[in-house]
Chains A and B, each alone.
Chain A
């Protein structure tokens, strides 16, 4: 994330309660004086401790760091405290999450708001971008999202919750899981009138979706240019709890089960023998253990089998795949085994997440969030070079920009998977040979190891960027 001179993060400008800034490579959050009372309540009421214990809020420590320097404004006076939150290994965005990741983020948000209400506070925003996956759990990372609850007031974040979570989840569940990509276009969540239009008629029989999406969209339209004067105490605590529980049960009832997608059953349909598979796993594990990367990106990680081999080295491993079904399965394994250093994400390598938002600087592109220490590109090169026609030298440059170390598998034309890709098209790839591949990658990398994968025609390489 690009930063102005004081190190303030470019995505951190909306809330006057404070902002994030980086100094000497460490991320701090400045708490402004205007937020002092709310911050004190968060810490003193026991809410902070309770949420941290439940793995719902990122832990932080208070520091004696000087506030961020802003010469022109009275920021120095505005500052109340500087806190240092636990570092998040990899920032991901809702359009990169599988169905259950978005659902868990939604449920975490509601659970946090409910717990806050019990201790006299309320969650003042329900942005999906405030949730990150930390140690395998959906966690709120914005410590300044709480405010003192005043009974009688409605939930200011209701609209945001419906747009960021409920609408996309309903669309993914009732229409098509790929509609999560609408979040990439609409940074403040899916517009409810659009969701209402796209959802099938039967969702109007579901009380939660009828009220929170369909009727909600209608009233938004009716009152779009009118200011409303509400009388004081218009919404009791009981009504608030009723609302939250309704949202909670509506979200819980939304489900999505991966059907037979292109890759859903990939490992059952590979041309690998067990021994080739095991050999590959062994090599990935061995090379990761040898190079000790802190951050590994598995590019084309499918359900995360090889990501897990790399993660054994202790590295935080992000397992990217284009198939939402594979990512969903991967996430279910993370949850089941309570894995803390693996993050599955949906990503199309041929069209990776761009930088979006105000001034192209609110959400980082895929590339800006790197480089990693090691990248894995296993059984993926033929998809990029042949299905997507990317010339080998460009592929080499792409991978060289991602990580210092690259573990890459070359899949030759004689391989049945490549034959399948070429069966319905002209072979315009004369350089797609082992020699052509090595020549292209030697421009960017030094090849440290090249091992033929047992019982196959494939070769696994360990390379280091030049």
Chain B
């Protein structure tokens, strides 16, 4: 394992594996979305505001 330092709670082998596989898949979506933004920018379409300001009201 390459955690540095090692976590104080065991993340669980199975939990790590499923998380990495699913995240890799979902990461593609995030990457596409990110580059989609820059493509849109090329055509002068303003990107959406940083969601930092929109997710303030999570609760």
Q: Which residues of A contact B (CB under 8 A)?
A: 14-17, 54, 56, 104-105, 107-108, 110-111, 114-115, 118, 124-125, 137-138, 150, 152-160, 162, 211-212, 215-216, 218-224, 226-232, 234-236, 238-243, 245-246, 335
Q: How far is the CA of A107 from the CA of B58 in the complex (A)?
A: 6
How many Å lie between the Cα of A152 and that of B18 in the bound state?
A: 15
Q: Which 9 A-B pairs have the closest CB atoms?
A: A242-B26, A239-B27, A104-B59, A220-B14, A159-B15, A239-B23, A223-B14, A219-B14, A223-B13
Judge if B43 is at the interface, Cβ distance under 8 Å: no
Asked if B12 CB lies within 8 Å of chain A CBs, one says yes
Task: From the candidates A104, A150, A153, A222, name the one contacting B58 in the complex (CB within 8 A).
Answer: A104
Q: Which residues of B contact A104 (CB under 8 A)?
A: 58-59
Contact yes or no, A115 B52, CB < 8 A: yes
> B16: shortest Cβ distance to chain A, in Å?
5
Beyond known contacts A154-B11, A238-B27, A243-B22: 16 more, CB 8 A cutoff = A15-B8, A17-B8, A115-B52, A154-B23, A155-B19, A159-B12, A216-B18, A219-B14, A227-B13, A228-B17, A232-B2, A235-B23, A239-B24, A242-B23, A242-B25, A243-B19
CB–CB B23/A14 < 8 A: no
- Asked if B27 and A241 make an inter-chain contact with CB atoms under 8 angstroms apart, the answer reads yes
A-B contact pairs, 6 of them (CB 8 A): A124-B7, A154-B11, A222-B14, A228-B16, A243-B26, A246-B22
Q: Which residues of B contact A107 (CB under 8 A)?
A: 58-59
> Which of A15, A125, A216, A335 makes the CB contact (< 8 A) with B15?
A216
Inter-chain contact B26/A246, CB cutoff 8 Å: yes
Contact A234 B20 (CB under 8 A): yes
Residue of B nearest to A159 (CB): B15
Contact check, B2 vs A231: say whether CB atoms are below 8 A apart: yes
A118 to B55, alpha carbons, bound, how many Å?
14
Q: Which of B1, B12, B23 has the most CB of A within 10 A?
A: B23
Chain B positions within 8 Å of A153 at CB level: 2-3
CA distance A241 to B55 in the complex (A): 15
Asked if B45 is at the interface of the complex by the 8 Å CB criterion, the answer is no
B49 lies within 8 A of chain A by Cβ? no
Asked if A211 contacts B55 (CB within 8 A), the reply is no
Nearest chain A CB to B54 CB, angstrom units? 11
- Closest residue on chain B to residue A211 by CB atoms: B22
Does B44 sit at the interface, judged by CB under 8 A? Answer: no
Of the residues B9, B34, B58, contact of A156 by C-beta under 8 Å: B9
CA distance A216 to B20 in the complex (A): 11
Question: Using an 8 Å CB-CB cutoff, how does the interface string of B19-59 with A read, 1 for contact, 0 for none?
Answer: 11011111111110010000000000000000010011011
Is there an interface contact between B29 and A242, defined as CB atoms closer than 8 Å? yes
Q: For A155, what are the chain B residues with a Cβ–Cβ distance below 8 Å?
A: 11, 19
CB-CB under 8 A from A229, the residues of chain B are: 1
**Alpha-carbon separation in the docked complex, A211 to B15 (Å):** 11
- CB neighbours (8 Å) of B19 from chain A are 154-155, 158, 216, 235, 243
User: Are B13 and A226 touching (Cβ within 8 A)?
Assistant: yes
Min CB gap B25→A, angstroms: 7
B18 A108 Cβ-Cβ under 8 A: no
- Residues from chain B with Cβ under 8 Å of A243 in the complex: 19, 22-23, 26-27
Assembly CA distance A138 to B26 (angstroms): 27
Bound: A219/B30 CA distance, A: 24
Complex CA gap A155/B29 in Å reads: 18
User: Which of B4, B13, B58 meets A228, CB within 8 Å?
Assistant: B13
